[in-house]
Chain A
Amino acid sequence: MSPAFAQPVTPPARYANVQLADPAKEASARALMETLRCLVCQGQSIADSDADMAADMRALVRERIERGEKPASIRDWLIARYGDYVTYDPPLSGLTWPLWLAPILLLGVGGWIARSSFRRRTR
């Protein structure tokens, strides 16, 4: 949502709402955009937001992909600039390892509980 009748003062950057000509490059740009958070929105990625800032970030991602930059390096650049908050795919770090370990841990503990209950039941 934007204020009524709001028109951007400067027209949005070229690639904000225009796809890259190369479908493979557009696909990798799209995949990256879906993992980047629109910093001024309520829980939306830059791939699906009307906000001006999201448009600028889309343009930035597409321009850099066009120039041949790898998605991972664009992501790292954005994280260096805006912090971990900008990515929906939290990088593994001292703070996020419990998060990434949780699924395996849950599966292990759950499996152990279920298995031990079977063993007791089947004698």
Chain B
Amino acid sequence: MIAEAGLAALWFAGALAALQLVMAAIGIARDRDDVAAAVRPVAIVQGLLALLAMALLIELFLESDMSVKLVVENSHSAKPWLYKFAGAWGNHEGSMLLWVTILGLAGGAVAIFERSLPERTLTATLGAQATIALGFYAFLLFSSNPFARLNPAAADGLGLNPLLQDPGLAFHPPTLYTGYVGLSVAFSFAVGALVTRDVGPAFAKAMRPWVLIAWIFLTLGITAGSYWAYYELGWGGWWFWDPVENASLMPWLAATALLHSVTVLATRDGLRAWTIMLAVVAFSMSMIGTFLVRSGILTSVHAFAVDPERGAFILALLAIYIGGALALFAARIGTVRAGTTFDPVSREGALVANNLLLSVILGIVLIGTLYPIVAASFGVQLSVGPPFFNKAAGPIALLLVAVMAVGPLLRWRRDDAKAVLGRVMVPIGATLVAAIALLFVWPGVLPWAGLSLAAGLAVASVAPLWKRNLKRTPLFTYGMVIAHLGIAVSLAGMASDSAFTQETLVAVRTGEPARVGPYTVTLDGIAPVIGENWSALEARLTATRGSSERILRPQLRFFANPPTSTNESAILTVLDGQLYTVLGQPDGQGRWQLRLWWKPFVTLIWFGGVLIALGGMLSLLGRVRRERRATMRTQWA
């Protein structure tokens, strides 16, 4: 009964989305305020129904109902509790249901909390939101039904891909999807503003929290995904320029650009058309990301089911939404007045440079990701990977870092070039000192430039706080400072890892020491271990550095359902870096293969990522508080 109730909830939610769209259209086209007023409650109920469907699917996974096809194909009764729970979205149908659930809840949240936007624009926004949701409900109901029964029921399930049996799975998809969905809300606001010809600061202020939320979650999702790849894949790499990684990076790049241009629109009423365009691009990137990952066009742990019909469905949705938005943009953009003006040397000028460089990087990643797919459709097999992306995007990213260091030190509207030079003296000094010091340990061109610029950016990013009353500095200024500092920290970690990592590959007998970086690693022995649904061979390694001695236990793990083996790395984290150890195969003569890496300051990469997200949260909190105070003031006046 639970499966049928879930399917019914999904149908009702889809019907309400259709109703929401029709009512919003009537409300706006016929100027019927009474109809428009009902759009808010419909959006809320639609979100709750989607949530109910998701909850029922989770319940089916938790009780291992083997009469449901999805549970049989992706779960197993002997799986740990957490992976039954998270397994509900560790598959194609479930993850699309999660997508539409978050989308519905976000629409409900807009309906409940948005009070500052003109009612007509809000109605149009919720109408746009319903249009997006409708496509996904149709996709679920007609080609990806998560509640389909299996008759006769199976004795037990086929299990979950062991690579996905990791606590990260519980949080990774909801995190990224919240990011994607946040961008869809921003897109809906942009469509709403275009429909009612209401592009201005009020619209920008209403949209900004959603862009920030999307950006925070995308940042966290990418950071966590990168750390997952780092420790789970067992080769010490943290970014592979894999199409699936790019699918999450592209929306982030667009969201970062949008975040900065929407600030110009909200504070200075500039960059109107460009901000609308970016909102369309950002949502397009999240749709392209979903398409690349879900269509099965790429093979990866993310491509659960290869089914051309589903790929075609998502591609059709993509074409309708993006094409429709671009057509609306083309039709209405002429009516959007140019915003206020500014000089090239100004805060706005730096933000335009930021947007330009981010867009170029986005373009490079998009072209590099799609090129092999397009080439393959012409029968040509080629690969585009790290060498291309590093060469093409690396220098532009470093240029962007330089702009990021200077930008916040510029005044709005116009600034004096000489005065600016005085303000950036100290950061430039820090960059030069680092650059000269690094010449003695020459780490290679890109890491050298990266580390030097990271030093300059770190100094420059805290500069906006100099000589200011720290108590009266708004929270969102702290947000910017911490986010920019986070970029410097992360960049330093990336450059340090690629410049100073030391690798040791050895085959050792018990008691035989191996050296890597400052550590001596000795294999004490190998012992079998049994887990909840796996067995493993576990090495006991003693790592000595000076007088300190630490034990590490990397595993070679075997799963029975489905039959696979994985390397579970063991990582020792210390202040100045990580010791990364992996157990490989035996050579049959008593020796075991070990892969050892010493990675100085590699943790800064993810620490920086968390700082960036924290900066976003402070900014969000600061903006929301200020908006609320402003609303209260106008109500009192």
Contact = CB atoms under 8 A, between A and B. Distances in A.
B385 A1 contact: no
B564 A1 contact: yes
Given A5-B558, A90-B388, A106-B364, A17 B349 contact: no
A106 B360 contact: yes
Interface in A77-123: 83-90, 95-96, 99-100, 102-103, 106-107, 110-111, 113-114, 117-118, 121-122
B234, B343, B380: most-surrounded residue (chain A CB, <10 A): B380
A76 interface: no
B436 interface: no
B506 to A, nearest CB: 7
B343 A19 contact: no
A42 B300 contact: yes
Interface in A15-74: 17-19, 30, 34-35, 37, 42-45, 47-50
B356 A19 contact: no
Contacts of A47: 235
A99 to B, nearest CB: 5
A78 B559 CA distance: 35
A49 B582 CA distance: 13
A107 B300 contact: no
B573 interface: no
A44 B240 contact: yes
Nearest to B376: A85
A34 B387 CA distance: 9
A5, A50, A100: most-surrounded residue (chain B CB, <10 A): A50
Contacts of B163: 1
Contact of A86 (B243, B383, B505): B383
B475 to A, nearest CB: 31
A103 B392 contact: yes
A6 B342 CA distance: 66
Interface string B339-360: 0011110000100110010011
Nearest to A118: B344
A84 B383 contact: yes
Nearest to A58: B505
A84 B353 CA distance: 36
B236 to A, nearest CB: 7
B588 interface: yes
B386 A34 contact: yes
Contact of A85 (B244, B383, B593): B383
B565 interface: yes
A89 B382 contact: no
Interface residues of B, number: 62
B504 A19 contact: yes
A11 B356 contact: no
A43 B233 CA distance: 12
A56 to B, nearest CB: 14
A50 B567 contact: yes
B352 A19 contact: no
Contacts of B234: 50
Given A11-B587, A18-B505, A106-B360, A4 B384 contact: no
Contacts of A85: 381-383
B319 interface: no
Contact of A1 (B236, B356, B384, B566): B566
A30, A84, A88, A118: most-surrounded residue (chain B CB, <10 A): A88
Contacts of B566: 1
Given A5-B565, A7-B585, A121-B341, A106 B363 contact: yes
A122 B387 contact: no
Contacts of B381: 83-85
Contact of A35 (B360, B387, B505): B387
B174 interface: no
B572 interface: no
A40 B51 CA distance: 40
SS class, residues of chain B in contact with chain A = mixed
Given A89-B385, A99-B388, A6 B565 contact: yes
A6 B564 CA distance: 9
Contact of B342 (A34, A99, A121): A121
B503 interface: yes
Contact of B240 (A43, A90, A96): A43
Interface string B529-569: 00000000000000000000000000000111001111100
Counting chain A residues whose Cβ lies within 8 A of the other chain, the interface size class is 35 or more
A84 to B, nearest CB: 4
Interface stretch (B220-228, B367-375, B603-611): B367-375
A18 B507 contact: yes
Contacts of A99: 367-368, 371, 384, 388
B237 interface: yes
Contacts of B35: none
B242 interface: yes
Contact of B383 (A8, A30, A37): A37
Nearest to B242: A43
B299 interface: yes
Contacts of B559: 4
Contacts of B342: 121
A89 to B, nearest CB: 4
Interface string B178-195: 000000000000000000
B393 interface: yes
Contact of A110 (B236, B359, B367, B383): B359
B584 interface: yes
A103 B385 contact: no
Contacts of A107: 360, 396
Contacts of A83: 381
Contact of A102 (B237, B364, B595): B364
A109 B584 CA distance: 50
Contacts of A7: 585
Contacts of B380: 84, 95
A4 B559 CA distance: 7
Interface of A: 1-8, 11-12, 17-19, 30, 34-35, 37, 42-45, 47-50, 83-90, 95-96, 99-100, 102-103, 106-107, 110-111, 113-114, 117-118, 121-122
Interface of B: 162-163, 233-237, 240, 242-244, 298-301, 341-344, 349, 352-353, 356, 359-360, 363-364, 367-368, 371, 375, 380-388, 392-393, 396, 503-507, 558-560, 563-567, 584-585, 587-588, 593, 595
14 contacts: A3-B565, A4-B563, A5-B558, A7-B585, A11-B588, A17-B507, A42-B300, A43-B243, A45-B385, A48-B240, A84-B382, A87-B383, A118-B344, A122-B343
Given A88-B385, A95-B382, A121-B341, 19 more contacts: A1-B564, A2-B565, A3-B563, A3-B565, A30-B503, A35-B385, A42-B299, A45-B385, A48-B237, A49-B235, A88-B388, A96-B382, A99-B368, A102-B363, A102-B367, A103-B363, A121-B342, A122-B341, A122-B343
